[in-house]
Structure 1
Amino acid sequence: MSHPVRNLRFGLFGAGPWAGQTHAPALHAHGGADLVGVWARRPEAAAALAGAHETTAYSGEKGVDELLAVCEAAAFALPPDVQAPLVIRAAAAGRHVLLDKPVATSVALARDTAEAIERAGVASVVFCTLRFAPDTAAWIGEQVAAGGWFTAHARWLGALLGPDADTPDAPSPWRVEKGGLWDVGPHVLSVLIPLLGDVTEVSAVSGLGDTVHMALGHASGASSTATVGLSAPPEAAGASLELIGERGRAVLPRWNDPVIAYRAAVDELRVSIRSGVPHPCDARFGLRMTEILAEAESVLR
């Protein structure tokens, strides 16, 4: 007689808009996860989000350890360079980790994070939406299996930092500082790398606002271009990715609600925990994305 798999106890670190819109709802409603607490740097934010999802609020240095003591996995919705040291603490405590992208904006910090996870022997997944949203995940798998791609062209432009931005919440300070290269660049790389191979060459030029145009060489011999930014006019905002190869063109489909994608990421973390097999989009892959983005940033400077 088979027995049901016990729910995985999650602690959520972060209580900002993204945590409220995606992470907490996905964990609270997930059939295989129990949200056992929310930690935030601001006690009032932790209390509000925890109250909305019927769980316990934690804050401060002591709160980090208290939440780690009652969870089995830690999910993160924090600025990247705040996230990374806490991930290292979670791994050292033997907790599996579900990170947000980018893992960190420093290669050294991203490497420390990946190495801490490997040293602890815990599972990790980096939440890159397109790798977990059902429609786009299936499309990526199909195009990898098809092969024969000659080049790819990606564009991800947001209006968050533009003069006409109309958003209820002010953009995170780290997004203002680092721009679309670091915020949406990981989304693009998370698709291009499995399709065309690791990045072997990076060129980059700046456009208006925080817009960056990257030209990438890949291990397969194929090349790609990617335009990313957060300061486009609202009418110009949007995302697309087109593959060109032996079979003509293939276009990335529209993707689902991020809550659905986050639930899939939770599922895949659970699979990695049970199997002991590292996930393709784990902290080591997160490190690789940080290395590429840091190289592009260096070229721009």
Structure 2
Amino acid sequence: MRVGLLGTGPWAVGAHGPALHAHPGVELAGVWGRRPEAAAELAGRFDTGTYDEPEALFADCDAVAIALPPDVQAPLAVRAAEAGCHLLLDKPVATEPGAAARVAEAAERNGVASVVFFTLHFSEPTASWVREQAARDGWLVGRADWLSPVFGGASSPYADSPWRRERGALWDVGPHALSVLLPVLGDVTDVRAAAGPGDTAHLVLRHAGGASSTVTVSHTMPPEAAGVSAELRGTAGVVALPERETDAPAAFGRAVDALLAAVRTGEPHPYGARFAARVTDVLARAEASLR
């Protein structure tokens, strides 16, 4: 499968590019970026070429991997699907529910597969943990905390990201928290949110099956206070999310595997564009509650 890469930022450099270049089942067909000089540098690193226009890259590809801000990604994903390209997307797919829904609808209308890179679902042991808990009944409450120091004093390649500064942790790491809770507790029927210090946001969620959960996210924690944790409580007792894998290229390689499998079997992936649209809807409701 020939895969084109759209984007030239830290995630494209550190995860998408290395994984696509090394994967035995795909060929990195080329790179498009909003900064031509950065696209040329990235393409040279991974022995491929650059494209001046996205449509030219779509025409030469079977699939695209997009590593761009969400509201740049969403319309490009629709255009790629309309061109017949399978989609390997990043989270959040969009920050506006209508835009996220259009991505899912374009993929379904054009018969292309979609996989969204919710990292915990392509890493171990976290992926197995979520599957195991989702197979159990009787969960009553859940909690997920993603407390990051990206804007809290840590040295991070993402600190210069304009969209992260504008939209905050709610949109950047909120999808990770929801990707743990929704598969286990079910769809969200009600959302309440309150602001904390910096860009910290607290969410209280009611799920369709009657369970409830809380989410706390932040990019403005000091490094000493940062951390990721999640917990579920119910008739099975108390279970905690295991420590996540940190090898981003390996995780992205598994996302490539998932896309290849979805194309081969025709079975929609559980963490495709439709699931991502549900995540965007919850986060948009939380943002409205904060306002």
Matched, 1:167 2:156: yes
Determine the structure 1 residue equivalent to 2:35. 42
- Paired letter, 1:210: D
Deviation at 1:144, TM superposition (A): 1.3
- Paired letter, 2:132: E
Q: 1:148 aligns with which of 117, 126, 138?
A: 138
SS in 1 for 2:203: strand
* Mapped partners of 2:250, 2:124: distance in 1: 8
* Mapped partners of 2:159, 2:234: distance in 1: 41
Work out whether residues 160 and 171 of structure 1, in 8 Å CA contact, stay in contact via their aligned partners in 2. no
- Paired letter, 1:213: H
- The alignment's C-alpha RMSD in Å is 1.1
Deviation at 1:107, TM superposition (A): 1.2
* Mapped partners of 2:49, 2:15: distance in 1: 18
SS in 2 for 1:277: coil
- Paired letter, 2:253: R
* Mapped partners of 1:144, 1:116: distance in 2: 28
Matched, 1:116 2:113: no
Deviation at 1:167, TM superposition (A): 2.6
Matched, 1:31 2:24: yes
* Mapped partners of 2:68, 2:109: distance in 1: 23
* Mapped partners of 2:137, 2:39: distance in 1: 46
Matches within 5 A, 1:1-301: 8-59=1-52, 63-162=53-152, 164-168=153-157, 170-256=159-245, 257-301=247-291
* Mapped partners of 2:25, 2:138: distance in 1: 38
SS in 1 for 2:189: strand
- Paired letter, 1:184: V
* Mapped partners of 1:169, 1:233: distance in 2: 15
Runs of at least 4 residues of structure 1 off by over 3 A? none
- Paired letter, 1:149: W
TM-score normalised over the length of structure 2: 0.97
* Mapped partners of 1:253, 1:169: distance in 2: 24
SS in 2 for 1:215: strand
* Mapped partners of 2:24, 2:33: distance in 1: 24
SS in 2 for 1:202: strand
* Mapped partners of 2:38, 2:95: distance in 1: 25
Deviation at 1:165, TM superposition (A): 3.0
The runs of 5 or more residues in structure 2 that have no matched partner are none
The runs of 5 or more residues in structure 1 that have no matched partner are 1-7
| Deviations 1:54-103, CA, capped at 9 Å, x for gaps | 111223xxx21221111100000000000111101100000000010001
Cα separation, partners in 2 of 1:271 and 1:161, compared to 1, 3 Å: same
Deviation at 1:147, TM superposition (A): 2.5
| Deviations 1:240-280, CA, capped at 9 Å, x for gaps | 10111112111111122121111111111111111111111
Residues matched between the structures, number: 290
* Mapped partners of 1:156, 1:92: distance in 2: 35
Work out whether residues 147 and 226 of structure 2, in 8 Å CA contact, stay in contact via their aligned partners in 1. yes
Deviation at 1:169, TM superposition (A): 5.6
| Deviations 1:3-36, CA, capped at 9 Å, x for gaps | xxxxx11100001111100010111111211111
Cα separation, partners in 2 of 1:90 and 1:161, compared to 1, 3 Å: same
* Mapped partners of 1:156, 1:136: distance in 2: 15
* Mapped partners of 2:271, 2:158: distance in 1: 29
Work out whether residues 161 and 171 of structure 1, in 8 Å CA contact, stay in contact via their aligned partners in 2. no
TM-score normalised over the length of structure 1: 0.94
SS in 2 for 1:254: coil
